[in-house]
Amino acid sequence: MKDKRCVVLLSGGLDSAVTLYFAKKSGFDCSCVSFDYGQRHKRELTSAKKIADAAGCPLRVIKIDMGWGGSSLVDKKMAIPQKPSGSKKIPSTYVPGRNIIFLSFALSFAEVIGAEAIFIGAHAQDYSGYPDCRPEFYKAFSKVIKTGTKAGVENRKISVETPLINKTKAQIIKLGARLGVPFGLTWSCYRGGTSPCGKCDSCHYRNKGFKEAGLIDG
């Protein structure tokens, strides 16, 4: 058992897989957490299990009710956008409060198991403009940890680690390749069929990233 423990938010996608391998490489004993929140691409949870197994880390899947919709990622009556719009508008795949809820659970779990860090694979660049993927949000959440937990009050630090935050998708893919991430096990497509649609934002950025990194996906 390593003496540094962390919680890794593992969605089953490429970014969180790279983040898990990065945390492991940084010497952490990693406990992974995934969420079954009614996402259209629930298939990513199968990927999360395979990735956690490949990394030799335990995974806890937390089922949560976000039944009030408000996002094309959970509401099947809303359409998934076909491609990046190019506008600065936040896309319909934004799930209100999602990363805040995910981090809150990870924080509770981290406090109970005595973890000193929470790793999340968010990145601000080269992405879809989600407010909860920006550095200022993670800074604000750190203040919540400091003020709203027993750990914070007792000066036991639980940090929020966002190792990918300023990287482009191509840089993330290159980093993952160096760390030996099993890209073939990861799932990015928002639609969640049997094979990626190649058209949604998430597929678009993944394909572009591999191309720019000069690497083959899979």
Instruction: Locate 53 and state its tokens.
Output: 């197994």
CB of 208 to a second copy, least distance (A): 24
- Residue 126's CB is within 10 A of a number of other CB atoms, namely 15
Closer Cβ to a second copy, 148 or 198, answer by number: 148
Give the pair of three-digit tokens for residue 132: 């909860």
Q: Smallest distance from the beta carbon of 26 to a second copy, in angstroms?
A: 23
**List of residues contacting a second copy (CB under 8 A):** 60, 62-66, 68-70, 90, 94-101, 103-105, 107-109, 111-113, 131-132, 134, 136-137, 139-141, 143-144, 146-153
Q: Which two tokens stand for residue 155?
A: 């000066």
What sign has the CA pseudo-torsion 62, 63, 67, 72? positive
* Min CB(101)–a second copy separation in Å: 4
> Of 69 and 81, which has the nearer Cβ to a second copy?
69
Least gap, CB of 155 to a second copy (angstroms): 12
Residue 152 or 163 having the CB closest to a second copy: 152
E strands, 10-127, in order:
29-36, 59-63, 117-119
Cα of 202 vs its chain's centroid, Å: 12
* Closer to a second copy by Cβ: residue 20 or 66: 66
CA neighbor of 80 nearest in space, from 189, 5, 161, 195: 189
Q: Minimum distance from CB of 122 to a second copy (Å)? A: 10
Please identify, using beta-carbon distances, which residue of 77 and 150 lies nearer to a second copy: 150
Treating both helix axes as pointing N-terminal to C-terminal, what angle do 169-179 and 201-213 enclose, rounded to 10 degrees? 60
